[in-house]
Amino acid sequence: MEEYSDIIEGRNSVTELLKSNRDINKLFIQKGERHGSINEIYALAKEKKVVIVEVDKKKLDEMSNTGNHQGVIATVPPFNYSTVDEILEVAKNKNEKPFIIILDGIEDPHNLGSIIRTAECAGVHGVIIPKRRSATVNETVSKTSAGAVEWMKIARVTNLNDTIRYLKENDVWIYGTDMEGTANYNEVKYDSGVGLVIGSEGFGMSRMVQENCDFLIKIPMKGKINSLNASVSAAITMYEVMNQRAKK
């Protein structure tokens, strides 16, 4: 078995990896694969001078953690998390007010990957996750995000509440999504810096995080089930922020 720190698997994820500036140790491609997007992957890898190793499917099956490598796996150094200041700097460089997603207790890597994918599409400047009670960026998150992790600033912090207070000092208002919110998500004006908190599906936001929010917003429910998947809630609210900003 090759020594590596982490792996990225699947054609979309590897393609986005190759388009980014992230270091790549080696690229493993299934022998005989020359169809569709594999050709683009070959071309990008040669352009970046990435070492390409052709192996049989059994080798890739052994390396894969998702069981769906699609004939290609890249080995990479551990994910390079950003800082909160780097996220704020992205907004500043774009001359935009910060738009940040804060995740409190999202432990399912599929949900984390979906949220990062939507965040990248919605113009979010960065995602903040805690070091405890949270999924980390791994191959499942990368694959679920369709490679969006390569383009999104993701900060991993020790204390969410300290981070929220720091964001407030930098003109970011904190909006927490909660079933008991005082206003519907589409009735609030997101005209300043926005920090959007998404809590876990089972427990929502922690009490301290909830108390540190400037606003508690809710998504109206008409069905018999009173909650949405965390990634769906995040998508709905993210696009409301994006749409309001697009009208200005």
Residue 5's pLDDT is what?
Answer: 60
Residues 6+ apart with CB under 8 A from 96: 123, 125
The sign of the CA dihedral 223, 124, 154, 87 is: negative
> Collapsing DSSP states into helix, strand and coil, what is residue 48?
coil
The sign of the CA dihedral 55, 18, 147, 5 is: positive
Phi, then psi, of 12 in degrees rounded to 5 = -60, -45
Query: Taking Cα atoms as reference points, which of 149, 115, 131 lies closest to residue 8?
Result: 149
| CATH 3.40.1280.10 segments of the chain | 84-246
With vertex at residue 138, the alpha carbon angle to CA 37 and CA 24, rounded to the nearest 5 degrees, is: 55
Per-residue pLDDT tens, the chain, 248 aa: give them.
343 368 888 898 899 899 988 889 999 999 886 777 888 999 999 998 999 999 999 999 998 887 889 899 999 888 889 999 999 999 999 999 999 999 999 999 999 999 999 999 999 999 999 998 899 998 889 889 988 998 999 999 999 999 999 999 999 999 999 888 889 999 999 999 999 999 987 778 899 999 999 999 999 888 777 678 899 999 999 999 999 998 86
Burial of 81 (0-12, 13-18, 19+ CB in 10 A): middle
Separation CA 34–CA 80 (nearest Å): 31
With vertex at residue 168, the alpha carbon angle to CA 194 and CA 115, rounded to the nearest 5 degrees, is: 35
Separation CA 107–CA 123 (nearest Å): 23
Separation CA 206–CA 209 (nearest Å): 5
Residue 2's pLDDT is what?
Answer: 41
For residues 89 and 153, is the Cβ–Cβ distance under 8 A? no
Superfamily of domain 84-246: SPOUT methyltransferase, trefoil knot domain (3.40.1280.10)
Give the side-chain half-sphere CA count within 13 A for 77.
6
Class of 6-76 in CATH: alpha beta
pTM of the model: 0.81
Query: Taking Cα atoms as reference points, which of 13, 130, 34, 127 lies closest to residue 76?
Result: 13
| CATH 3.30.1330.30 segments of the chain | 6-76
For residues 95 and 119, is the Cβ–Cβ distance under 8 A? no
> Collapsing DSSP states into helix, strand and coil, what is residue 216?
strand
The sign of the CA dihedral 174, 180, 185, 187 is: negative
